[in-house]
């Protein structure tokens, strides 16, 4: 069956990609038949299909759902009930998505075979890139990958992010034999769950091998920039280790220590001097090309919310290294690959791999403005299958998987830009209803509103009122952080903010952070990939001026709503010009794994 034949490499993998995309509709139909055959009798599907395993019954009877609908089943499995509630195969792990539900990470069921599907997609990446950038088997890749500490469900199933699951699998470990996958980072450093030690060791090995490195990367652009910022703070220590051939005492993880000592081997003062000379420069513009002179590109996701990091990556590479986006994937399922890896980030499209899952699409019109709320019931008849999407139109992606998600709304908005053979090519537009995102965090308007509502209560004893607010993801420094612009009435506007008032606004920052979701708090406290939240107090009349600005630029007075997040440069400049004082969260929010 198409879902099973997954062990392809090199040329063979490309041929398989052609074969699959040439008959996408047939592959999709077979996938759905197979899922229904295996899973038709699960408690979940049986409820709707009453024992039928017919495709037509599925299409007319199974509803389009969100996480809230499937969550009770997932919770029951996590608590020890049988996988057969939702899947004909054994659920082997729960994948923690960066999406959240009721403040907790969403848990996505996964079956053993899913690893083969993900590996099939990974195995396509190098053959695709090799068509455009030859010779990558003659050197190394400095990819900064990070695993997270694993948890387990009450029934003992591993609960971990999809990439941690992959790094721990034999599929990842087997790559060692493939010259196209020769990484500078030792597995022990990738698997070390102490982020600082992992980062230090991975950069150290990347620097030791700097003359062999042919490509740089991380999964998301945010992680790659964090590595540059870490390097900025730590290059002197890294140079010292290279100079002496000894590992500093900050690396305490025994597996990392032994792997790194193997890499350091002997003192190398010459290499340390080279690196020191480069890093000691006042400007780091183009530093990546100097430190890794043979690097041919940077691989990282720079589409969607990650596009905000393109200018920084271009600065550090002096615009000389192409930014390569290879794939579009999620914890629920992997979607597709970019067949033109060297294209401009703005032109990236992902070709759907029809053997990953059964895909359907909710049409959002040809302007993308007909977004549907999460709560809104989507009529089954509205769904379009993969063969019937239209070029130029916007859609929300819906998947049906072997592991037990049926007509599940992923929450991503995409635009169909064309077809590769018979498979649609998608431009990633946005995550539905996300207003702020720095790293894995995805804060929607409602979360933001609820957290601001909790915090503004602290103003009441001071006879102060929050008149209006908006927000902005500030990524001008690393790590980026959330900024809230607050206009407060009855507040002293002469700039003399007394100690008590400053303290109150700092507390407001803390309350907002505490009220944001689990993934935000994890990024702040554990990953340290998001910096302290800031409240910028703006003077009276600021939000009226903001409204005037938008109305001048075409917004309707009748329908004007203060945008809860500002992305436009002119509006940001206006807000920043009215700032009277800034306050930062003084401590990390609570986060328990």
Q: Which residues of this chain interact with ligand AMP, rule CB under 6 A?
A: 97-99, 162, 301, 303-304, 325, 328-331, 410, 412, 428, 431
Task: Find the shortest distance in angstroms from Cβ 174 to ligand AMP.
Answer: 23
Residue 10, token pair as written in the block:
């090199």
Q: What does the DSSP 8-state code read for residue 436? A: B
Task: Find the shortest distance in angstroms from Cβ 329 to ligand AMP.
Answer: 5
Cα 488 from Cα 541, distance rounded (Å): 10
Q: How does 472-505 read in b/e, with b if 16+ C-beta sit within 10 Å?
A: bbbbeebbbbbbbbbbbeebeeeeebeeebeebb
Cite the DSSP H helix spans in 153-283: 162-167, 170-173, 187-191, 195-208, 221-244, 254-264, 269-279
Residue with smaller CB distance to ligand AMP, 303 or 317? 303
Cis status of the peptide bond prior to 55, with omega within 30 of 0: no
Closest CA to 25 of 36, 13, 33: 33
Residue with smaller CB distance to ligand AMP, 232 or 346? 346
Residue with smaller CB distance to ligand AMP, 8 or 328? 328
Task: Find the shortest distance in angstroms from Cβ 579 to ligand AMP.
Answer: 31
Dihedral over Cα of 89, 95, 99, 103: its sign: positive
Cα 501 from Cα 486, distance rounded (Å): 14
Q: Is the distance from CB of 78 to CB of 155 less than 8 angstroms? A: yes
Task: Find the shortest distance in angstroms from Cβ 323 to ligand AMP.
Answer: 12
Task: Find the shortest distance in angstroms from Cβ 352 to ligand AMP.
Answer: 13
Q: How far is CA 84 from each of CA 43, 309, 403, rounded to the nearest angstrom?
A: 7, 43, 10
Residue with smaller CB distance to ligand AMP, 349 or 512? 349
Task: Find the shortest distance in angstroms from Cβ 562 to ligand AMP.
Answer: 26
Residue with smaller CB distance to ligand AMP, 71 or 294? 71
Task: Find the shortest distance in angstroms from Cβ 397 to ligand AMP.
Answer: 8
Q: Which residues pair with 536 in a beta bridge?
A: 485, 582
Residue with smaller CB distance to ligand AMP, 144 or 247? 144
Residue with smaller CB distance to ligand AMP, 49 or 121? 121
Cα 359 from Cα 456, distance rounded (Å): 43
Helices and strands in the chain: count of H runs, count of E runs: 20, 20
Task: Find the shortest distance in angstroms from Cβ 430 to ligand AMP.
Answer: 8
Residue with smaller CB distance to ligand AMP, 44 or 408? 408
Cα 439 from Cα 427, distance rounded (Å): 20
Closest CA to 244 of 217, 215, 271: 271
Residue with smaller CB distance to ligand AMP, 395 or 550? 395
Helix (H) or strand (E) holding 481: strand 481-489
Q: Which residues pair with 151 in a beta bridge?
A: 159
Edge-to-edge order in the sheet of strand 481-489: 465-474, 481-489, 534-538, 579-584
Q: Is the distance from CB of 392 to CB of 415 less than 8 angstroms? A: yes
Residue with smaller CB distance to ligand AMP, 373 or 561? 373
Q: In the chain, what's the furthest Cα-to-Cα distance?
A: 73
Task: Find the shortest distance in angstroms from Cβ 348 to ligand AMP.
Answer: 8
Task: Find the shortest distance in angstroms from Cβ 333 to ligand AMP.
Answer: 10
Task: Find the shortest distance in angstroms from Cβ 351 to ligand AMP.
Answer: 12
Residue with smaller CB distance to ligand AMP, 299 or 487? 299
Residue 230, token pair as written in the block:
């870490």
């Amino acid at each position: 069956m198409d879902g099973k034949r997954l062990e392809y490499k090199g040329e063979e993998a490309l041929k398989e990609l052609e074969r699959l995309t040439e008959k996408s509709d047939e592959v999709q139909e077979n996938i759905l038949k197979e899922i229904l055959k295996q899973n038709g009798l699960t408690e979940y599907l049986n409820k709707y299909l009453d024992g039928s395993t017919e495709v037509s019954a599925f299409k007319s009877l199974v509803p389009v759902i969100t996480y809230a609908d499937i969550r009770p089943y997932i919770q029951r499995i996590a608590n020890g009930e049988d996988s057969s509630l939702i899947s004909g195969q054994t659920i082997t792990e729960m994948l923690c998505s960066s999406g959240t539900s009721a403040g907790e990470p969403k848990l996505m069921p996964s079956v053993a075979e899913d690893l083969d599907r993900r590996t099939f997609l990974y195995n396509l990446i190098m053959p695709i890139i090799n068509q455009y950038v030859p010779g990558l088997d003659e050197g190394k890749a400095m990819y900064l990958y990070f695993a997270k500490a694993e948890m387990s469900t009450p029934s003992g199933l591993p609960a971990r992010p999809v990439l941690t699951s992959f790094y721990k699998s034999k599929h990842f470990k087997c790559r060692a034999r493939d010259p196209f996958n020769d990484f500078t980072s030792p597995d022990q450093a990738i698997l070390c769950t102490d982020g600082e030690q992992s980062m230090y060791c991975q950069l150290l090995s990347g620097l030791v091998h700097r003359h062999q490195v042919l490509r740089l990367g991380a999964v998301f652009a945010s992680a790659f920039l964090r590595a540059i910022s870490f390097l900025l703070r730590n290059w002197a220590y890294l140079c010292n280790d290279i100079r002496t051939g000894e590992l500093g005492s900050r690396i305490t993880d025994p597996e990392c220590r032994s792997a790194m000592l193997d890499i350091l081997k002997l003192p190398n003062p010459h290499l340390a001097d080279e690196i020191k000379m480069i890093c000691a420069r006042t400007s780091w513009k183009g530093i990546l090309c100097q430190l890794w002179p043979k690097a041919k590109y940077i691989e990282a996701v720079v589409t969607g919310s990650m596009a905000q990091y393109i200018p920084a990556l271009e600065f550090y590479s002096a615009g000389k290294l192409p930014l390569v986006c290879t794939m579009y994937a999620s914890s629920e399922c992997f979607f597709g690959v970019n067949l033109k890896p060297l294209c401009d980030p703005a032109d990236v499209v992902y070709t759907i791999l029809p053997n990953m899952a059964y895909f359907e699409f909710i049409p959002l019109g040809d302007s993308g403005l007909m977004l549907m709320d999460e709560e809104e019931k989507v009529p089954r008849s509205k769904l379009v299958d993969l063969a019937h999407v239209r070029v130029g139109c916007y859609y929300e992606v819906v998947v049906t998987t072997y592991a037990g998600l049926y007509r599940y709304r992923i929450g991503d908005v995409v635009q169909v830009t064309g077809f590769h053979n018979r498979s649609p090519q998608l431009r990633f537009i946005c995550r539905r209803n996300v207003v702020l995102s720095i790293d894995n965090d995805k804060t929607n308007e409602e979360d933001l509103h609820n957290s601001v509502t909790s915090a503004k209560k602290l103003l009441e004893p001071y006879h102060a009122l929050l008149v209006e607010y908006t927000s902005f993801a500030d990524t001008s420094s690393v790590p980026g952080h959330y900024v809230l612009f607050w206009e407060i009435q009855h507040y002293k506007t002469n700039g003399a903010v007394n100690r008590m008032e400053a303290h109150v606004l700092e507390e407001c920052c803390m309350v907002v952070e505490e009220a944001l979701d689990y993934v935000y708090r994890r990024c702040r406290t554990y990953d340290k990939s998001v910096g302290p939240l800031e409240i910028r107090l703006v003077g009276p009349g600021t939000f009226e001026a903001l409204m005037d600005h938008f109305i001048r630029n075409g917004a309707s007075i009748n329908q004007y709503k203060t945008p809860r997040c500002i992305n436009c440069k002119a509006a940001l400049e206006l807000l920043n010009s009215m700032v009277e004082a800034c306050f930062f969260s003084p401590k990390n929010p609570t986060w328990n794994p």
